[in-house]
Amino acid sequence: MESSEIYAGPEPHIEVHKYYPGVVPLAVVLSLVLQVFLPVHVSWANYLELPLLVTIYFALSKRNPSSGLLLGMAIGLLQDSLTPGTPIGLYGIAKTLVGYGGSTIGSRLDVEHPIARFMLTIMFYLLHHVIFALTKHALLNQQETYVTLPIFIAAGANAMIAVGFFTFLDRFRRQS
């Protein structure tokens, strides 16, 4: 039985998706491992943001702002730890905000439709990039490009991958 609802009413009527134990941590770890491993062997994998896709998916699905932002924070901090030369907290802040935003939107809109997922992924990818660049500029005083054509192309590519990836992760939802 599908537990998602197309509903734009008050929050208490929105159902929150649940997953089998270990799915969320495993997804997080795998996304980080692949994010580190793939670019070594596949050059275009540099534009891939698997940890961000995991954050977006679970934020949209769980529809709980608190758990969404905490999950985003955890994923971002872990990604910072694995990124040499990056202070811990840069990705953390960006993914925290993405997780919060995704959970808030997921509780109000239909996020199951592939087109919705595609558009939301593009939006959150760009938001994530802007927040990251702003934080880097403000704290590290390093200039970073905000929105360019390659960034748009990367956002589109990640959104296309997200559609299939999100459908794959839907299999691990616990049926209520």
Partner 1 sequence: MASIPSRQKSFTLLAGVVIAQVLLLAVQIRSAQQVRLIRVWTVEVISPVQRLGAWVIDRIGSGWGGYIGLRHTKVENDSLRAELDRLKIRNAELEGRAVEADRLAALLNFRQTHTTTQMVPARVIGASPDSGTQVVYIDQGSGSGIRRDMGVITPDGVVGKVIAVYPDTSQVLVLADKESGVGALLATTRTQGPVKGLGEPLLSMDYISNDEKVSVGETVLTSGQDRIFPKDLPVGTVTETAPDGKTPFMRIRVRPAAHLDRLEEVLVLLTTQELDPKKEAETHLAPAKSQPAAAKLPVIAQ
> Interface with partner 1 by CB under 8 A: which residues?
11-16, 63-66, 69-70, 73, 76-77, 87-90, 92-93, 96-97, 100, 103, 107, 135, 139-141
Q: What are phi and psi of 19, to 5 degrees?
A: -125, 160
The CB-of-93 to partner 1 minimum distance in angstroms stands at: 5
Q: What are phi and psi of 173, to 5 degrees?
A: -80, 145
The CB-of-7 to partner 1 minimum distance in angstroms stands at: 12
Degrees (nearest 5) of the Cα angle 59, 76, 62? 10
Nearer to partner 1, 80 or 154 (CB): 80
Nearer to partner 1, 63 or 129 (CB): 63
The CB-of-17 to partner 1 minimum distance in angstroms stands at: 10
User: CB 47: neighbour CB atoms within 10 A?
Assistant: 15
Nearer to partner 1, 88 or 160 (CB): 88
Nearer to partner 1, 79 or 158 (CB): 79
3-state secondary structure of 124: helix
The CB-of-83 to partner 1 minimum distance in angstroms stands at: 13
- Residues 78 and 73: their CA atoms lie apart, in Å, by 8
Contact assessment for residue 62 and residue 112, using Cβ atoms and an 8 Å cutoff: no
